[in-house]
Amino acid sequence: MNIAPRALLLSMFQAAVGAADPMLCVPAHLPKSVKGRLVVVGAGKASARMAQAVERHWDGPLEGVVVTRYGHAAPCGRIRIIEASHPVPDQAGADATQEILDAVSGLTEDDTVLALISGGGSALLTAPAGSITLAEKMAVNQALLKCGAAIGEMNTVRKHLSQVKGGGLAAAAYPAKVLSLMISDVPGDEPGVIASGPTVGTTTTAADARALLERYDIDMPPSVRAQLSGGAQPPHPADALFQNVENRVIAAPQISLEAAAAMAMQAGVTPLIIGDAIEGEARDVAKVHAGIAAQIRRHGQPFTAPCALISGGETTVTVRGNGRGGRNVEFMLGLALALNGAADISAIAGDTDGVDGAEEIAGALITPDTLARAAAAGLDANAMLATNDAHGFFEALGDQIITGPTLTNVNDFRAILVL
């Protein structure tokens, strides 16, 4: 069987991204009709493409505003598209959030808010609660990104420091009906975690958020401490306002993993989806994946080659150095080291939004000769992993995956090909 590993892995990644295109998944979930106004709002890396899908498939009048990451806009005629910073909020995001809140205020029970929510929305929807300043919220957010906190933990904190997350957007739109269409980028596809759940009530408490900041030893300015010690908190799911709210997850990691699996089968490779919600420190998760791949290669158990181990989810990176590594490239560098040049094993990992960490790089590829080529180029793989410089490592080898903004986001995609 003649299989070209790089080409197959890239085609699997492209299939995973394509399966989550908002133009495919949004139209079937649009309202059949509305009685009053239809106001479209949204936030996330896929929100502009989602808005574009709405405009193309909605015949009636509509209006609205969405905020997306810089570079992730899509042309729209009736819905205003604003770009702002991700993963750390900025003033543009704060201004856009105010426009969104203004757009949904003063509506009646005859009106409908169509909320387009996707990964990245948590940083893009920025309305600090209480007396917290934008700079203080940015500092807390940056610290959370560096400390290795899981996405659910980060969003717990974000909800309790925001006016709009954790159901705040739904509260602002009340008494209008709210239909929230969500593209999931979180393990478990829990609506309350996607973009910190702007249309979903919150069951966590301020004490939970405070405990997380203390556990990760993150400095709390007085305004943050005050907000988490008695400030106004997000609405609870039992609040009457949520009787008019419907949240639908319309695209999720599993759908994309299945699309990649179908691509593998077409090539005569047995696909094995080992999880769509895998979390943990990226380099540690890489060791486990390497162990499974090596077992198959050496012993033909529990599966026989050729096969592809496919997984999704969101790992974390505890920043120890000054490198440029995102979680996908850190996973790949850790995987290369764990495999140590094992024959006939190649792999790919990338973020389906085209951005790994803060870099405009989706991820990377490895092949059995990755470490040998690195050594010949004078690269110290172990040292670069220690300083979180996986982007620098794969850039030097020419093994980065560069897609540009994909305008969707169903989290990370990983595939290990064992031949």
Residue-wise pLDDT for 162-172, tens only, equals: 999 999 999 99
Residue 306 lies in domain: 5-16+254-418
154 and 82 together in one domain: yes
Q: For the chain, first and last CA: distance in Å?
A: 10
**pLDDT of 323 above 80:** no
- The CATH number covering residue 11 comes to 3.40.1480.10
3-class DSSP state of 74: coil
**pLDDT of 263 above 90:** yes
123 and 272 together in one domain: no
38 and 186 together in one domain: yes
Order of strands across the sheet that contains 345-351: 270-278, 307-313, 412-418, 345-351, 363-366, 400-401
**pLDDT of 266 above 90:** yes
Beta pairing class for 245-251 and 270-278: unpaired
Question: Which band of pLDDT confidence, cut at 50, 70 and 90, is reported for residue 146?
Answer: confident
Residues above pLDDT 90, as percent of the chain: 89
3-class DSSP state of 400: strand
Alpha-carbon separation of residue 394 from 6, 191, 327, 380, 390 (angstroms): 15, 34, 13, 12, 6
**pLDDT of 219 above 80:** yes
Cα gap 267→415, rounded to integer Å: 14
Residue 64 inside a domain? The answer is: yes
What does the mean pLDDT of the chain come to?
Answer: 95
Cα 411 to its chain centre, rounded Å, is: 4
**pLDDT of 1 above 70:** no
Specify burial of residue 280 (Cβ count, 10 A radius: 0-12, 13-18, 19+): middle
Residue 382 inside a domain? The answer is: yes
Tens digits of residue pLDDT in 150-159: 888 988 999 9
262 and 169 together in one domain: no
241 and 287 together in one domain: no
243 and 292 together in one domain: no
Task: Name every residue whose Cβ is closer than 8 Å to that of residue 395 and which is 6 or more positions away in sequence.
Answer: 361
3-class DSSP state of 260: helix
Residue 138 contacts residue 126 (beta carbons within 8 Å): no
**pLDDT of 322 above 90:** no
Q: Look at residue 302 in the predicted model and tell me its pLDDT.
A: 78
The domain boundary, picked from 251, 279, 303, lies at 251
Tens digits of residue pLDDT in 278-304: 999 999 999 999 999 999 999 988 788
More confident residue, 61 or 320: 61
Average pLDDT on 20-38 reads 96
84 and 11 together in one domain: no
246 and 288 together in one domain: no
262 and 239 together in one domain: no
Least confident stretch, 27-41, 175-189, 291-305, 336-350:
291-305
Cis peptide before 5 (omega within 30 of 0): no
Tens digits of residue pLDDT in 36-94: 999 999 999 999 999 999 999 999 999 999 999 999 999 999 999 999 999 888 999 99
Q: Look at residue 280 in the predicted model and tell me its pLDDT.
A: 94
Least confident stretch, 51-60, 237-246, 320-329:
320-329
